[in-house]
Amino acid sequence: MNKPIAMKFFKFILVAFLTVSMNGFSQAPTDYLSKDFHKDRREVLRSKMPANSVTVVFANPLRNRANDVDYVFHQDPNFYYLTGYREPNGVLVLFSENQTDENGGSYNEILYVQKRNKRAELWYGKRLGTEGAKEELGFDIAMNAEEFIKSTIDFKSFDNVFIEKFNDDYRDLRDAADIFDLVKGFKIKAGYDPSIYLSGVKEYVYNNIVETPVESSANVIRIIDRLATRSPEINDDDLIKGYKTATTDDLKKEFKEKILLALKPKTNIDVSFLAANLATMREVKTAEELVLLTKAVRISAIGQVEVMKAMKPHMSETELQGIHEFVYKKYGAEYEGYPSIVGAGNNGCILHYIENSRTNVANEMVLMDLGAEYRGFTADVTRTIPANGKFNKAQKEIYDLVYEAQEAGIALYTIGTSMQAPGAIAIKIINEGLFQLGIIKSADEKHNYFPHGTSHHIGLDVHDPGNYGNFEENMVVTMEPGIYIPDGSNCDEKYWGIGIRIEDDILVTKKGPINLSEEAPRTTEEIEKMMAKKSVLDDFILPNLDK
Ligand SMILES: [Mn+2]
């Protein structure tokens, strides 16, 4: 890509070109979530807000990749869920009750958007602007972002101001109303003081202390000690220290009282209400969401199918990644929902291996965990297949065990079942199986061959928020057991370098679980059959540049 300054000469031609291509704007996809969907989500959220409260949600910022090049923009999923706005530098303000403007007009929400700007749009594409926000997103009131900074909304006058936790991971750009300025403007207006918020781990410990009778304080202290290995700062907290070292129950009760007080909010700005309520809303999908999410999942499963047909031992991890991602693009999926993972052999034992740099996958098992993102919704599908098209005995033993665990887990994706149940049965089956194979010495031996959970929501995030209670109708949750035996493990060498995960995206329905990613074969027999098929890529031969 050229630097802007070197492009001056072409600007003129570019203007002419863009004038034509902007008329082609109507050719953009039309199957995004509808404005009615977002409006309905705002209504549901408003119905949960207590009287005299206001919600403020910020769009994601642009983030810098290097020098004058930014990362591809991705919207904050909560902000997108509530607005449908796909640009940076926006703010949503949602009031629990109608507000009155100076002309006596009434409103209960405002969307602030990036101002239209000829020069910026020439370089980076069309902005929706306030008119677009009204027409396409259905907001009655849309204003330019700079109006948010100037606005006279008196956040201090509300009983509650609901916001998301600030990440503060962005810089001040030249734009006078970028996220940096919008957040800064809000903090000043609302009197936001970060020092009064407890860190996540401290809040967790405080709550644990408050909820536990002092007679059982030993349990809490065990939790504190465990957490302190990762977050040693909790040992420096005077209240936690006091509780831990108090020698009598009465003394402990005194510290418990103090901690209860410390947990009481000292501000009207609340950073947990939104996260909790949006998790409850987002964990159950509407019909409209299911259409897009199902499409993302099917695209990802079909990517796995094409790779099964195309894979050859001489291929690189990068090339295999490219085949998946080409299929996504072919279906019009804009992005990958998370960095693609393609790991052959021992690389498959690294859970989030995204380097994908091995130059040939040889005769290894290849673990491929990828998901297309379609109109904001991301799939999460993993297949692990033998590069040469045939499972050897050791590979098949481990694979069948993971498969058995996955099947048992999927059967539990039924309304009312605990979301912990599939993981529990998977670990039980895998432990039993590893023992049978002689990889561990007893079925209850502690080991690190299956170090992750099996079941997370997917949606606008690959790890979608949720409460993780019981399964409800129209949840979409992954089932992904795995076994990873890195080189040098304390077991028979024939199992070394085998890392296997099978992951499917399961829709919970009244009639039981539906596997949305079933198009990608899962049994060893089906996989071998698929891998024996011809691929269009068999004849795709490019010039050799290394000769
Ligand atoms: Mn997953």
Q: What is the dihedral of CA 403, 406, 410, 416, to 10 degrees?
A: 160
Query: How far away, in angstroms, is 502 Cα from ligand 1 center?
Result: 10
Q: 351 CA to middle of ligand 1, Å?
A: 10
Q: For residue 501, how far is its CA from the centre of ligand 1 (angstroms)?
A: 10
The alpha carbon of 83 and the centre of ligand 1 are apart by a number of angstroms equal to: 26
CA–centroid distance, 368 to ligand 1, in Å, is 11
- Every domain of the chain and the residues it spans: 29-193, 200-263, 283-539
pLDDT at 20: 44
Provide the β-strand partners of residue 106.
100
Interval between CA 480 and ligand 1 midpoint (Å) = 7
Distance 490 CA to ligand 1 centre (A): 27
Q: Give the integer Cα–Cα distance in Å for 464 and 480.
A: 15
Cα 484 to ligand 1 centre (Å): 15
Going from the Cα of 432 to the center of ligand 1, the distance in angstroms, rounded, reads: 23
Cα 360 to averaged position of ligand 1 atoms, centre (Å): 25
108 CA → ligand 1 middle, Å: 38
pLDDT score recorded for residue 379: 98
Q: Residue 457 C-alpha to ligand 1 middle, in angstroms?
A: 9
Report the separation in Å between the CA atom of 343 and the middle of ligand 1, taken as the mean of its atom positions. Answer: 15
Length of the chain: 547
| Ligand 1 center–CA 462 separation, angstroms | 7
Q: How far does residue 32's CA lie from ligand 1's centre (Å)?
A: 24
- Cα 11 → chain centroid: 38
Ligand 1: centre distance to CA 157 (Å): 43
Amino acid 263: pLDDT: 87
Distance (Å) from CA 309 to ligand 1 centroid: 23
Distance 478 CA to ligand 1 centre (A): 6
Cα of 155 vs centre of ligand 1, distance in Å, is 39
Contact criterion met (CB below 8 Å) for 315 and 535: no
202 residue type, one letter: K
Q: What is the pLDDT of residue 149?
A: 95
536 and 330 in contact (C-beta within 8 Å)?
Answer: no
| CATH code that applies to domain 283-539 | 3.90.230.10
* pLDDT of the residue at 81: 98
Per-residue model confidence (pLDDT) at position 23: 45
> Looking at this protein, which amino acid is placed at residue 497?
G
Q: For residue 382, how far is its CA from the centre of ligand 1 (angstroms)? A: 8
> Strand runs (DSSP E) across 438-497, as ranges?
476-479, 482-485
Q: How many Å apart are CA 311 and CA 534, to the nearest integer?
A: 10
Q: How far is the CA of 458 from the centre of ligand 1 (A)?
A: 8
- pLDDT for 233: 87
Greatest CA separation for the chain: 81
Phi, psi of 533 (to 5 degrees): -75, 155
For 110-169, write each residue's pLDDT tens digit: 999 999 999 999 998 999 999 999 999 999 999 999 999 999 999 999 999 999 998 888
Q: Which stretches of 336-392 are DSSP H helices?
A: none
Give pLDDT < 50 ranges for the chain.
5-24
Three-class SS of residue 65? strand
pLDDT of residue 175: 85
Q: Which residues contact 545 (CB under 8 A, 6 or more apart)?
A: none
**Alpha-helical runs (H) found in 349-471:** 393-410, 421-436
* 443 CA → ligand 1 middle, Å: 26
pLDDT in the model for residue 171: 85
Homologous superfamily in CATH for domain 29-193 = Creatinase/prolidase N-terminal domain (3.40.350.10)
**What is the 345 CA–ligand 1 centroid distance (Å)?**
20
**Rounded CA gap, 394 and 104, in Å?**
76
Give me ligand 1 centre to Cα 194, in Å. Answer: 33
Ion ligand 1: protein residues whose beta carbon lies under 5 Å: 380, 478
Query: How remote is the CA of residue 54 from the centroid of ligand 1, in Å?
Result: 34
Ligand 1 centroid to 436 CA: how many Å?
27
Q: What pTM did the predictor assign?
A: 0.89
Distance (Å) from CA 78 to ligand 1 centroid: 20
Distance CA 316, CA 478 (A): 27
For the stretch 241-280, pLDDT in tens is 999 999 999 999 999 999 999 888 789 999 999 999 999 9
Distance 327 CA to ligand 1 centre (A): 20
Output the CA 305–ligand 1 centroid distance in Å: 19
Name, in order, each residue with C-beta under 8 angstroms of 452's C-beta and a sequence gap of 6 or more. 351, 480, 482
Q: Closest Cα partner for 336 from 368, 313, 365?
A: 368
User: Please, which residues bridge with residue 485 across strands?
Assistant: 498
Quote the Cα angle for 296-298-299, to 5°. 65
Angle at CA of residue 177, ends 174 and 178, nearest 5°? 70
